[in-house]
Structure 1
Amino acid sequence: MSDRASVSGAVSQQTDTMLDALAQWVRIPSLSSSPEHTADVTRSARWLMSQLREAGFPVVEEWQAVGRPAVYACWPASDPRAPTVLVYSHHDVNAVIDDEWHETAPFAGVLREGLLYGRGASDAKGQVMCHLWALKAHLAATGRSAPAVTMKFLIEGEEEIGSTHLGDLLARHGEVLRTDLVMVSDSMMWSLDVPAVCTGVRGSVSAALTLRAARRDVHNGAVSGAAGNPLTELCRLIGSLHDETGRVTVPGFYDQVTDPSPHDRAQLAAIPLDESAWTERTGTFSVQGEAGFGILERVWLRPAAEVTSLLGGHPQLPGLGVIPATATAGLVFRLVPDQQADDIARGVQEWVAERIDPGFTYDLDLPASRSDPYSTPSDHPAFTALEQAISRTSGAAVVHMRNGGAAPAAQLARALEAPVLFFGTGLLEDRWHSGDERVDVQALVQGAEALAHWLSALPAAMA
């Protein structure tokens, strides 16, 4: 096992180099949702490929997925009996709204007061770089010419648009991707001073519901009071999505949901949290949600439904004076263990069909890019080794947390027949999918040290 001081020194020696590299990568606007940036997504993939080759990976490949390539890399361990780890993450980034960026331009890649700003700095280019940083430190601290475990990377370019072709990649390259375990690094840590290991993620089902009330927009004064209004009907429908206690009204939504166990609640109680700290860290004004449950229970252990967009009418033309023909809402359903994404999608279809007024037609789009929830087997030796590595880095006991967002962990586990672990360097303060996204340098440093220790310890742990 590598010495703590040696690992810390190796990570420190790489700090300037790795931060410069991350800033370069952030400056590539790899927006998978924008067709005009398709070439930038390819440029991002090839930039990462050059970094992997420079680090020493003997196998680095570009895997095409309809113009948004994934990157695959492999570095075999010198011992053929060593376990194999596949790191999954993504190099594409979420869309930007320029007016929401005040600290820097979205793709400036600026380092200021220990924070590196730019879209993708935390979600998830910083997390990918943390793994590369850790691998370099692991080699330097141990004097190895190859890692203690066989390292594989699968860094896709479509995560921010639903990992549309991930299933195809897994099916096409399943043999090459064969592994003993998967580590997903598209997740968050709790805080810099409270070491935590993530034990699972919620699943996700997205939907877009469009209502139509007329063949075309209709003059307000001509029909007001006698014509259907899709915005009014959509608001009524959305208003019925939750009951008075905050529970979701979709049929069967809670059929497979159980209340948090005493063990679950004890784990959450070990995490320091109060309402004012939560709202401060998240930038929200209040705590809302299902009655009878605490904040962390609501975001980690209970399912949820959210309205993500509401579109209709012509706000840019307030004097137009029409009742719009159509209105659309975006919805996201977050799922917890034992819920199945396909079951929830069917429930949403039933909910819309039974509640919508027959005077409207509708289209409900439920994309196939949905994810089931996933929980890491807590008794897996690699999980124990990760707990110990994080504790060794921080010098403190590790608490257990979950992530409220989604990742294709269940899909990876099924396709590769391997358990999934989670390791993230994101923080609540990092402003994912918002303006002024940033990553805390200390989070990357701590993460690189913990991962370097984990790589050294893993062969013995899984022997």
Structure 2
Amino acid sequence: MPSEIHSFLNDRRDRLADELCEWLRLRSVAGVPEHVPEVIRSAHWLAGRLRDLGFPMVEIWPADGTPTVYAEWCAAPGAPTVLVYSHHDVRAVKDEQWSETAPFEPVLRDGYVYGRGSSDAKGQVLAHLWGLRAHLAATGRDAPAVNLKVLVEGEEETGSAQLAGLLDEHRPGADLIVFSDTLLWHREHPAVCLSMRGMLLAELEIHGPLRDVHSGAVSGPAPNPAVELARLISALHDDKGRVTLPGFYDAVVEPSGRTREQLAALPYSDEDWLTRSETRSICGEAGFTVLERLWARPAAEVLTVVAGDPDGPSRGAVPAVATAAISIRTVPDQTVAEVADQLRRWVATTISDGFDYELSIGEETGQEPYRTPEDHPAVAMLAAAMEDGFGAPAGRMGNAGGGPASLLARKIGAPLLFFGTGLPEDRWHDDDERVALDVLVAGAATLASFWDRLSSSRVTAEVPDYGENGTVDTGTAGVADQP
């Protein structure tokens, strides 16, 4: 059957690319009021495609201008029920910085589709649609071999604030969740993702003078918030690259020997990583490999620093305010609440006298880490399907980013698998975002094979309660016997 799947998809590569470009033209930017109509149009565009594909039930959940698309096709009695999660909103852009194309005027060039949302995550959603088309064509079925539910939200890029409420209201049950807002390690070396770090965002605002004051009048004795902010930022890590928040590592478990072996088995070189990630050099916590730092260790990053006159000519003034946005990535068994408290205490005890400050922490949109039960039978099925799709054995990896994986697992009460078609070089959240068309095709082929493999299993949703930090007591949670 893999050959039939690939033949079907390869014959329709241009249609896949055209469909993606059509969707990418909609400026469905999250969190920007003037783009709400485009986010709504994006949801209706997807709903139409799901109906055209054959889903007998398609709904749009309004969600205050950030609509979620929900669909069901449950025509396989006795087969597992799978909920597919992704999102259709996209990150804001700086149009003038794009060089390959304007961000919402997508193009296909040298095997890549360029445009905002091409990889994160509209391309991943379309891989599911085309994977289902290929599954139906290759099997000759008129409905999927598993019971499918699709949930594509419209505010992931701003923290999925309404997702918990939508899940409580609509309660879409499932035996398994497939989370498609993630990366692959390499286009030639597929790997099953088994974990996702959590995320907490904070904004630190430091106040010095009561207003911007001419530096010639006060320079020297005036408290400069830009200098104080720089001091705090430099104190956030020690000389070994470790985060200095007291208690930050108390709940962090060292990567297991099995995890370290799995990550070490992935093909890696510093040169390849630096070329694909465009990160110039390698930094971070001493004592761990790059892949361990990415996927198995927590991290703290400063995303923005603003003070004085960032645009236009300088006024030559000591600024009244300096601001930094801080992103903290967490791992099991850390929790958003504990890390938020650690950050509050650290700022309160570290800031110098003579300054005021405001620390805003987005606990309501914080996301807990999640780890897939590695011995769940669906993991091996996905690995086999990835070999069908990509033509190479699948290793094991993690995800460096964050997302509502733990929330979904906890609310639905089902184990979660990760599968995405992004690559580190796809420039998520940056200029000239792109997706490799051959990776989309391989991803669609993987999904077509996966639904057929999964249909013969008895995957249950009877799993232990998922804690706030996305962990369970046993590595065999959700395992079901196969016939």
> Per the shorter chain, which TM-score range?
over 0.9
The reply to whether residue 370 of structure 1 matches residue 382 of structure 2 is: no
Alpha-carbon separation, structure 1, partners of 2:416 and 2:41: 29
Per-residue Cα deviation, 1:417-441 (whole angstroms, up to 9, x for no partner): 0111000100111111111111000
**How many angstroms does 1:319 deviate by?**
4.2
Alpha-carbon separation, structure 1, partners of 2:37 and 2:74: 31
From 48, 51, 54, the equivalent of 1:53 is: 51
Per-residue Cα deviation, 1:319-366 (whole angstroms, up to 9, x for no partner): 412111111100000111211121111111111111112311111111
Alpha-carbon separation, structure 1, partners of 2:284 and 2:97: 26
1:26-425 to structure 2, matched below 5 A, reads: 26-77=24-75, 79-174=76-171, 177-367=172-362, 368-425=364-421
Alpha-carbon separation, structure 2, partners of 1:122 and 1:315: 31
Alpha-carbon separation, structure 2, partners of 1:422 and 1:256: 24
Alpha-carbon separation, structure 1, partners of 2:268 and 2:391: 21
**How many angstroms does 1:259 deviate by?**
2.2
Alpha-carbon separation, structure 2, partners of 1:393 and 1:436: 27
Match of 1:320, SS?
A: coil
Alpha-carbon separation, structure 2, partners of 1:273 and 1:242: 26
Match of 1:193, SS?
A: coil
Find the counterpart in structure 2 of residue 443 from structure 1.
439
Contact 1:31 1:95 in 2 (8 A): yes
Contact 1:385 1:461 in 2 (8 A): no
Find the counterpart in structure 1 of residue 469 from structure 2.
none
Alpha-carbon separation, structure 1, partners of 2:67 and 2:389: 35
The amino acid that maps onto 1:61 is E
**Structural RMSD (CA):** 1.1
The worse-fitting range, judged by mean Cα deviation, of 404-413 and 388-397 is: 388-397
Alpha-carbon separation, structure 1, partners of 2:123 and 2:398: 20
Per-residue Cα deviation, 1:11-62 (whole angstroms, up to 9, x for no partner): 2233222221111001111001321111000010000011000001111111
Match of 1:190, SS?
A: coil
Per-residue Cα deviation, 1:202-226 (whole angstroms, up to 9, x for no partner): 1111100011113221221221111
Alpha-carbon separation, structure 2, partners of 1:409 and 1:192: 24
Alpha-carbon separation, structure 1, partners of 2:13 and 2:73: 23
Match of 1:397, SS?
A: coil
Alpha-carbon separation, structure 2, partners of 1:280 and 1:395: 24
Match of 2:271, SS?
A: helix
**How many angstroms does 1:103 deviate by?**
0.7
Contact 2:388 2:445 in 1 (8 A): no
Per-residue Cα deviation, 1:390-440 (whole angstroms, up to 9, x for no partner): 123334321100010111100100111011100010011111111111100
Match of 2:365, SS?
A: coil
Contact 2:389 2:444 in 1 (8 A): no
The amino acid that maps onto 2:50 is L
**How many angstroms does 1:140 deviate by?**
0.7
Q: Matched residue pairs, number?
A: 458
Match of 1:10, SS?
A: helix
Could you say if the C-alpha distance between residues 396 and 319 of structure 1 is closer, same or farther in structure 2, counting changes exceeding 3 Å? Answer: closer
Could you tell me the TM-score, scaled by structure 2's length? 0.93
Alpha-carbon separation, structure 1, partners of 2:314 and 2:206: 23
Contact 2:295 2:400 in 1 (8 A): yes
Contact 2:80 2:457 in 1 (8 A): no
Could you tell me the TM-score, scaled by structure 1's length? 0.97
Contact 1:65 1:165 in 2 (8 A): yes
Alpha-carbon separation, structure 1, partners of 2:55 and 2:274: 43
Alpha-carbon separation, structure 2, partners of 1:333 and 1:316: 28
Structure 2 segments unaligned to the other structure (5+ residues): 459-481
Contact 2:79 2:457 in 1 (8 A): no
Contact 1:180 1:419 in 2 (8 A): yes
The amino acid that maps onto 1:307 is V
The amino acid that maps onto 2:269 is D
Alpha-carbon separation, structure 2, partners of 1:200 and 1:233: 36
The amino acid that maps onto 1:403 is N
Alpha-carbon separation, structure 1, partners of 2:49 and 2:170: 22
The amino acid that maps onto 1:461 is S
Match of 1:461, SS?
A: coil
The amino acid that maps onto 1:222 is A
